[in-house]
Chain A
Amino acid sequence: MRGMETVPKIPTRERPAAPVQRPGKVGEDSVRVDGVPKVRGEFEYSSDLRMDGMLWGATLRSPHPHANIRSIDTSAAEAMPGVYAVLTHEDVPGRKVYGMEIPDQPVLAWEKIRYQGEPVAIVAADHPETARLALGKIHVEYEVLEPLADAEKAMKSDAPKLHLSGNVLRHVKIKHGDPEATADVVVTGEYEVGMQDQAFLGPESGLAVPDGEGGIDLHISTQWLHVDRDQVAESLDLPPSSVRLTLSGVGGAFGGREDLSMQIHSCMLALHTERPVKMVYNREESFYGHVHRHPAKMRFEHGATKDGELVYVRARMVLDGGAYASSSMAVCLNAATFAGGPYKVPNAEIDSYLVYTNNPPCGAMRGFGAVQACFAHESQMDKLAAELGLDPVEFRIQNAIEAGDTLPFGQKLPAPAPVAEILRRAKAMPMPEEKEVMGRDVRELPGGVSNVTHGEGVKRGVGYAVGIKNIGFSGGFDDYSTARVTLSIEDGEPLVRVHTAAAEVGQGLVTLQAQIAHTELGVESVAVLPADTRIGSAGSTSASRQSYVTGGAVKAACEAVRERLFERVRDEFGEDPNKLSIQDGNVVSGGSMIVSLDELLGSDEIEETVEYHHRETYPPDENGQGDVHLQYAFAAHRAVVEVDTELGLVRVVEISTAQDVGKVMNPQALEGQIEGGVAQGLGLALMEEIQMKDGKILNASFTDYLLPTILDMPPVKMEILELADPEAPYGLKGVGEPPTISSTPAIVAALRDATGRELRRVPVRPEQLVGIAERPPEQPPQPGSAGYAEIGRLDERIEQ
């Protein structure tokens, strides 16, 4: 091992810049401050970081989903020129496990491997290729075990236990109303959701820089700096104050960055080598390096009266959590609470199980348990409507839940809850023009430029769905954010600085914070400081919560600054603070100017730091009852599709959506959330699935894991409702997740309309659409299995 040479003194990285923005006010389009550096290629993502003397880290991962580790020999790797460190579980200074809810996941595996891709050893070297080659020289002796890859099997009492606590991580049972309720009309259905990947484009990456005094600075892309910091500190055996995190440019997240990936590893390598260490996953590794959306198998039974009134829902949902807990506890609760959908249903019996298996760990992804539930309950609504001979939208409207109604888990639904209204709006939106299929530009037909149909066999279908999602962390979690706002005069002009630890992951939060500051303090120039752990936690950028919670914190901090400012005006000018306002950098009262901020403040600053906690929520009781969630958001979708019924290829013609957002904060950013959310819903409906076989991922690449391209995405038409939530800042509702949740079942409903097929599994495959199989075969076709045995394989025949 090298490393004896003189190492350059570790330079400290400059803090990222906080450019001054001139944002619009709340409700106005406001061009994002990071837009210009992003289009120029100058925005610094976590994979772009570099420092002199920096080393590259790499991770050795288990090729087996289930194995015992007999031995690990790192000596050959250590002997390689250019290799500075090879570390294993023995080198973890502190807690050897991590996890957001339950620390059950090894930083580096010892004794046991529970999923394919589990990290076993890490290397630091002077070139990424050297680091990768060194991984190949680490000799790990495995005793390969049979993987437990089926959640239903893992629940059985005779299944081998993957964790000491057993394989059922959580069971949420909801009992509401009469468990014996009977109904005139009953429909049952079994539904499956495949394992979706967040597929953020910016790979997991970061740069760890030792401070020379035992502490560490980590520049990282993440969704929640403080929960990362606390876990990193535990495993490094350092006080949290010695672990400082700064958010680097984040290339998308969608839930996949809530758990740690390379955070602890890079810090271990950096502390060990006393050099900055950068780690960047490639795409294949990224598939192994973050959690995915839980695959689900669900059995639903609904009963209704002859007149179309819902009587009961009974549901059993089994969610595959994979090898470790991640955020599965909360996903399990969400799936249970939303199994009933946004409907009035007086009787409910719902069992939601979250199970450990040897599949990849699953956790947060946009929609978080509501996605799986929505696919099932919306499929059931269509089935029930058909059974009752009712229009599927009218049937939904008839049963739509309203404010004041009780959800199956016992919470009274707070206002506003315009479920019927958004359904009516989605239905009333103009239908897309139905162009003659024959003779069309092939690019506007299913299969597109593959030129597989000229219109023959193409059928159109229309489908609807509506969804419900909780906003913010709930179930008893103390969910808060911290904001520091400073008002000062710079170069003769008032400037507001906003500092939070909230992660901008692309959604536009940096701009939103500036808009809030402009609105509250009447100051046009705002600088949003880099998010880091120098300030208190902002909570996670997930659960559609940052506009609400960090938005609320920034607003409250601005109000506190304003209050102090007005007190000063009262003291100096005798004005009634209640009559004061700030306009264009001046304090005014009843239309007349009292004093300019410049004059009032001079070289003084006014600074306030505020922690904003939302209303308390409660965990459910033993019957799954309680005031579990904070806020509810709703969206309805209509999908129009065209299916080549001979080949099972699909073109989505248009998605229309109606969504209540409480308050439009930034119209352009809102549209972006809705369009992007729909794209991910479309992906789950039609193409996106991590395919598993015996605990192994078959398609860990963008060649084989298909994402919607610009060819796949139709126009998205939207109607936005602004019904203010009286409890929320500006009346806003979180907007990020609802577009993803009900777009998937709407598309599947349209596919059923076009084909008449049952389609009980997403993503829907061509073989389901043409009626060959209702689900993909357990055993993919092998060469020789399609009659080749009789006629000979193609390559053999050519040789003859």
Chain B
Amino acid sequence: MRLKLGVNGERREADILSGESLLYVLRERLQLPGSKNACEQGECGSCSVYLDGTLVCACLVLAAQAGGREVVTVEGVSDGDELHPVQEAFVEAGAVQCGFCTPGFVVATHDLLCREPAPTNPEIREALAGNLCRCTGYEKILDAVHLAANRMSRP
């Protein structure tokens, strides 16, 4: 079947099989491998993307369900070559080690800070509880979220 959808502000089309997930289509058919395939069952959050503005696990969305809708992936978070403050903060705070969880954390943090510009630690922990990281122990991720929040709140 032919799938038409918006991805990172562009109209995209692909021929897909009906069983393919949005994650598979993004990674393998649209050459956007930034969203990651760590568990493919909605537990790790490493494939977090926006679907019509709502944070979802791309692995749990059938690609066909995304037809005619707008998807934003980690590749679409930044504006051109400039890093988004969330991305910048993850690099600077040391919140990236192997980095496999990072795209998911970047999108989920982006979502959190759009809703709550100055989250407390319990709020951050609750909001990011759906994202697994195996390397960092999350301390530097908390630091990164605060750093990004501070930078984004600056006028």
| CB contact list, A692-708 vs B, under 8 A | 701-703, 707-708
Q: Which of B37, B96, B122, B134 contacts A47 (CB 8 A)?
A: B37
> Does chain B have a CB within 8 A of A507?
yes
Residue interface mask B26-49, A partner, CB < 8 A = 1: 011001111111111101101000
A443 within 8 A of B: yes
A129 in contact with B19 (CB, 8 Å) = yes
Residue of B with least CB distance to A707: B132
Do A703 and B125 have beta carbons less than 8 Å apart?
no
Residues from chain B with Cβ under 8 Å of A678 in the complex? 137
**A201–B96 contact, CB under 8 A?**
no
Cross-chain contact of B97 among A42, A508, A710 (Cβ < 8 A): A508
Count of A interface residues, CB-CB < 8 Å: 63
A251 and B129 contacting across the interface, CB-CB below 8 Å: no
Which residue of B28, B34, B46, B83 contacts A201 across the interface (Cβ within 8 Å)? B46
Contact of B122 among A45, A441, A677, A703 (CB under 8 A): A441
Report A251-283 CB contacts with B as 1/0, cut-off 8 Å: 111100000000000000000000000001011
Q: Is the Cβ of A202 less than 8 Å from the Cβ of B39?
A: no
> In the complex, A708 Cα to B34 Cα: how many Å?
24
Distance from B49 Cβ to chain A, minimum over Cβ atoms (Å): 10
User: If the complex has contacts A201-B46, A710-B128, are A36 and B103 also in contact, measured as CB distance less than 8 A?
Assistant: no
How far is A674 from B34 in the complex, measured between Cα atoms in Å? 27
CB-CB contacts of B131-152 with A at 8 A, as 1s and 0s? 1111111111110000000000
Docked complex: A271-323 residues within 8 A CB-CB of B? 280, 282-283
- Bound state CA distance, A343 and B106, in angstroms? 45
CB < 8 Å: which of B103, B126, B137, B142 contacts A41? B103
Establish whether residues B17 and A707, one from each chain, have CB atoms under 8 Å apart when the complex forms. no
Number of A-B contacts (CB under 8 A): 185
Please determine whether A38 and B122 come into contact, CB atoms closer than 8 angstroms.
Answer: no
CA distance A715 to B87 in the complex (A): 23
The reply on B56 being an interface residue by CB < 8 A is no
Q: A48-B33, A441-B122 are in contact. Are A199 and B134 (CB under 8 A)?
A: yes
Q: A675 contacts the other chain (Cβ, under 8 Å)?
A: yes
Q: Which residue of A lies closest to B27 (CB)?
A: A48
Q: Is the CB of A129 within 8 A of B137?
A: no
Contact partners of A252 in chain B: CB under 8 A:
97-98, 100, 134-135
From A254, which residue of chain B is reached at the shortest CB distance?
A: B134
Residues of B within 8 A of A249 (CB): 99
A654 CB to closest chain B CB, in angstroms? 11
Query: Bound complex: CA of A709 vs CA of B136, how far in Å?
Result: 11
Chain A hits for B83, CB < 8 A: 36, 39-40
Q: Is the CB of A41 within 8 A of B34?
A: yes
**Across-interface contacts of A671 in B (CB, < 8 A):** 94, 139-140
Q: Would you mind naming 29 contact pairs between A and B with Cβ atoms under 8 Å apart? A: A38-B99, A38-B102, A39-B96, A41-B106, A44-B33, A48-B33, A198-B134, A202-B100, A250-B98, A251-B100, A252-B134, A252-B135, A280-B37, A282-B37, A443-B122, A444-B122, A505-B98, A671-B139, A676-B134, A676-B135, A676-B136, A676-B137, A679-B134, A702-B43, A702-B44, A709-B131, A709-B132, A710-B142, A713-B139
Residues of chain A touching chain B, judged by Cβ–Cβ distance below 8 Å, are: 31-32, 34-36, 38-45, 47-48, 50, 127, 129, 198-203, 249-254, 280, 282-283, 441, 443-444, 449, 505-508, 668-669, 671-672, 674-680, 701-703, 707-711, 713, 715-716
Binding site for A on B (CB under 8 A): 17, 19-20, 27-28, 31-41, 43-44, 46, 73-75, 78, 83, 87-88, 90-92, 94, 96-103, 106, 122, 124-126, 128-142
Having A45-B36, A710-B124, A710-B129, one finds 11 other A-B pairs with CB under 8 Å, namely A32-B94, A39-B90, A39-B91, A47-B33, A48-B27, A201-B46, A202-B100, A251-B100, A252-B135, A676-B137, A701-B39
